């Protein structure tokens, strides 16, 4: 029961959408602008970098907090290896389908990233590195996010630590989740209509001239 309660709390924590909470303070709903997504990328495109930075801080922070919920609620020690991973996924689900905002939220990547900082910090340099290199090379945020998540799979496969048995299914679920939430991006990429963040491709453009 404690694990189930922890996951419910993590889901509710995830439902506190950074862009939608901050949007209410300034009288906007970014779901009515740009791509219609309540995530950091759309926040950057429609409201600027300051707003997007605050959104990212909230969404990353709640993922990190979600990983700590099982310890706060006294989940049984036998479940503690699994509970933080489950709660991070629950928080990402809350971000994507927020109870407080009509079940229309973001795509969960920032929340998962925040959770990784607590439950699997050694993976962060690889995940961030893949994301950044793909973004610089392609300019596609969605593709960068999916490939960054996919990098968790080989990391989990070679893991020999105490949490190795939990990390592989977590990595698989995280990849499936982000492929699902970014399915529109991937479809537009295949059609050649996906938005390209050209400013991120400064290195590529610089070496073309």
What the block records as the tokens of 138 is: 């392609």
What the block records as the tokens of 81 is: 């290896």
Residue 160, pLDDT score: 80
Distances (CA, A) of 118 to 1, 64, 115, 206, 208: 23, 6, 5, 37, 40
Q: What is the pTM of this model?
A: 0.91
Using a CB cutoff of 8 Å and minimum separation of 24, what contacts does 31-37 make?
A: 31/104, 35/195, 37/106, 37/107
- What burial letters (b/e) apply to 72-101, b meaning 16+ CB within 10 Å? ebebeeeeeebbbbbbbbbbbbbbbbbeeb
114-168 pLDDT, tens digit each: 999 999 999 999 999 999 999 999 999 999 999 999 999 999 999 887 788 899 9
Residue 133, exposed/middle/buried by CB under 10 A (0-12, 13-18, 19+)? middle
4-28 pLDDT, tens digit each: 999 999 999 999 999 999 988 888 8
């Amino acid at each position: 029961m404690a694990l189930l309660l922890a996951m419910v709390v993590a889901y509710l924590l995830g439902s506190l959408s950074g862009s939608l909470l901050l949007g209410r303070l300034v009288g906007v709903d970014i779901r009515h602008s740009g791509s219609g997504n309540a995530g950091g990328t759309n926040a950057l495109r429609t409201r600027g970098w300051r707003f997007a930075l605050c959104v990212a801080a909230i969404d990353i922070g709640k993922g990190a907090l979600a990983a700590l919920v099982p310890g706060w609620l006294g989940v049984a020690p036998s479940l503690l290896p699994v509970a933080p991973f489950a709660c991070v996924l629950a928080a990402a689900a809350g971000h994507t389908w927020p109870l407080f905002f009509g079940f229309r939220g973001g795509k969960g990547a920032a929340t998962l990233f925040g959770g990784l900082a607590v439950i699997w910090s050694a993976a962060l340099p690889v995940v961030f590195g893949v994301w950044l290199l793909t973004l610089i090379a392609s300019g596609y945020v969605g593709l960068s996010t999916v490939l960054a998540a996919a990098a968790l799979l080989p990391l989990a496969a070679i893991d020999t630590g105490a949490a190795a048995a939990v990390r592989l299914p977590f990595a698989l679920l995280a990849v499936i989740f982000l492929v699902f939430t970014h399915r529109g991006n991937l479809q537009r990429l295949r059609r050649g209509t996906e938005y390209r963040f050209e400013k991120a491709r400064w290195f590529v453009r610089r070496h073309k001239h």
